[in-house]
Structure 1
Amino acid sequence: MNATLLSVVLSLFSAVAYAAAAVAQERLAARTSGSGTLRLLSTGAWWSSVALNAGAALLHVVALKYGPLTVVQPLGALTLVAAVPLGARMAGRRVSRNEWRGTAYTLAGLSAILVTASGAAPDEVLSMPEALTVAAGTAALIGLLSRPGARPGLRHATASGFASGVASALTQTVTVAATDRSGPVLSVQVIGVALLVAAFATGGLLLSQTAYRGGLGAPLAVVTLANPLAAAVIGLALLGERLQGGVAGVVLALAGAGLASWGVVLLSRTAPDRPGLSAPADEEHPVAAVLALEAEAASAKAALLPRQPDPGHLTPL
């Protein structure tokens, strides 16, 4: 199977698993409102959602091994798309016109991106100086976005998306370097970048939690869009990834990105629309529940990376 096709298939299964976990968590939260953490830990449905989340993170990590960042990261928006029919079915309602429109725009835009961004399995990785430079630049940008001021939700959402996107780009370096048989698996490069992954994954999680305090729709859209943007910049600038088709390919990719962005915005604005009823205050919409999975995803991916001893005692690649 073509490497890019394999990464797309893995990303699709990952998105469906994330969406299924989000819907399961949303329904569980609605049924057990007011219950303590220990009550949730004794619930099989909760552990099932945890297993789905971990499986989705693992699939995403493997997808990063076989596909370029410019392909794998935008496909994360499929989690929102998959959550729509799953959530509607679980809630016993029809998919709204706005949801169908957002789904169509997102799928059309992603299709355009896939046509132009397809490429061979990644073989280039970030060197330690490059990884440290990316980390320092991202940390400085996150610091600027996190300063006190107006519209903290959108700024924190942007910072969270950048942190998660960089974490995925660094995860790809760890995955490719660790599976490259030309050198030792436990190298300074692998361990050092793995530590950076853990740092940015944790930062993205904390930033997302603060971003959603003032509302969901706009911050959710910003996180979903900032993540692949950060990863794509790293892939195109440092990892030798290219868009196919020359100028026409760039135009098509930009048009696809714009269309998919509008679809994500529409999906993030979606709210329960049960005729004659208002949703309970403690019940989230399945698309809203996806934000919890996105926040946990970076931490889950970091947890999949091996915890290694002090890199000073190991031999570099």
Structure 2
Amino acid sequence: MNGPDGTVVAVLLSLVSTAGYAFAAVAQSRLASSSTGGRGALRALLARGQWWWAVGLNAAGALAHVAALHYGPLTLVQPLGALTLVAALPLGAYCARRRVTRAEWRGALLTLAGLVALVSVTGPAAPGDALTLREALFVAGATALLIAALASGSRYGALRGGRRRGQGLGHAAASGVASGVGSALTQTLTAALARELPGGAPAWWQTALVAVLISAFAVGGLLLSQASYRGGLAAPLAVVNLSNPAAAAVIGVALLGETFRAGAWGWLVAGVASLAAARGVVLLTAGAGTAPETPAPSPVVATSGPPLPTPRTDDSAPAAAQAPTPAAVG
């Protein structure tokens, strides 16, 4: 299906993918807010039906995204996928029974603009290129070390007291990197199954190894995103959506011979877009801490002494009755 009909189908599938990812992110965020952590957190998570609904929604979003790429170009599908953040922000606020703050809206729009600009200049120039088996194994090993560093850095920040502001962004970045690398490895697996892998067709066990690596990065990315939502929804989701295409772009430029579109202007656009997206994440992180909370009790009620007597208008009452007796206190 080509032409206008294919474009319409691609847009509809992209919106379905966006909805699936947004609902999954909100579900994961609510699970994270009710999780107590600890060694048994993963086992408790796997025993909850809401977690498996989130997994199913993520899988449905991924399948719809792949189908959309079959009917429409990457330059159309990827920016529509960036709407996940804009959809998840009010949805998460509605579930939390609060309003989206102005800082969060500004942050979401800045992040969205930066992400769309990045995708427009860093998309693959030659679709179909795939990593060789040796390159795939090298990328998998380097990515595992990077994910470990990001996850440990986020855990160290949490121990230092970054409960709300910035906590989980390391896990979010690691999740996006895992997903981006998983996509690159999927291209390698597809080429291997079609016997079109650069360097010749691999042995069956090599193809199976790539499939296992893809599964590991997919599961790892899902669990890392779950951990990132303990510090909120909007900022971690923005970082996940940014680090995913960034990882794919690094692989494309470093190993697949791709480059930024529009030459030097492409590099400039990518730099400005990165700054805008980073500013958006900062606003989302700060905006998460400005949500309306339950008002604090009155300072008079919080004082430690006995309550002050209520003034009486009856001047004929005895003076002793106007002061509380020790037995009446408390």
Q: If the length of structure 1 is used for normalisation, what is the TM-score?
A: 0.63
Of residues 17, 22, 28, the one that matches 1:19 is 22
Of residues 140, 151, 157, the one that matches 1:135 is 140
Of residues 106, 112, 131, the one that matches 1:101 is 106
SS in structure 2 opposite 1:52? helix
Matched to 1:97, the amino acid is R
Determine the structure 1 residue equivalent to 2:279.
262
Determine the structure 2 residue equivalent to 1:298.
none
Matched to 2:19, the amino acid is V
- Kept in 2, the 8 Å contact 1:73–1:228? The answer is no
Determine the structure 2 residue equivalent to 1:237.
254
C-alpha distance in structure 2 between counterparts of 1:63 and 1:136, whole Å:
30
Unaligned runs of 5+ in 1: 279-317
Change (3 A) 1:132 1:10: farther
Determine the structure 1 residue equivalent to 2:157.
151
Shift of 1:197: 0.9
- Kept in 1, the 8 Å contact 2:14–2:77? The answer is yes
- Kept in 1, the 8 Å contact 2:46–2:52? The answer is no
* TM-align CA RMSD: 4.7
Change (3 A) 1:119 1:130: closer
Matched to 2:112, the amino acid is L
Matched to 2:180, the amino acid is G
Change (3 A) 1:66 1:142: farther
> Which deviates the most, 19-28 or 117-126?
19-28
- Kept in 2, the 8 Å contact 1:21–1:52? The answer is yes
Deviations 1:214-246 (A, max 9, x none): x45876665554333222101222234332211
Same amino acid, percent of matched pairs: 54
Determine the structure 2 residue equivalent to 1:174.
189
**How many residue pairs are counted as aligned between the two chains?**
271
Q: Which has the larger radius of gyration?
A: 2
- Tell me: higher relative CO, structure 1 or 2? Use CA pairs within 8 A at least 6 residues apart: 1
Shift of 1:163: 2.8
List aligned pairs for 1:34-183, cutoff 5 A.
41=49, 49-62=54-67, 77-90=82-95, 93-118=98-123, 122-143=127-148, 150-151=156-157, 158-175=173-190, 177-178=192-193, 180=194
C-alpha distance in structure 2 between counterparts of 1:266 and 1:18, whole Å:
22
Shift of 1:249: 1.7
SS in structure 2 opposite 1:99? helix
Q: If the length of structure 2 is used for normalisation, what is the TM-score?
A: 0.61
Unaligned runs of 5+ in 2: 37-43, 159-167, 296-330
SS in structure 2 opposite 1:151? helix
C-alpha distance in structure 2 between counterparts of 1:169 and 1:76, whole Å:
18
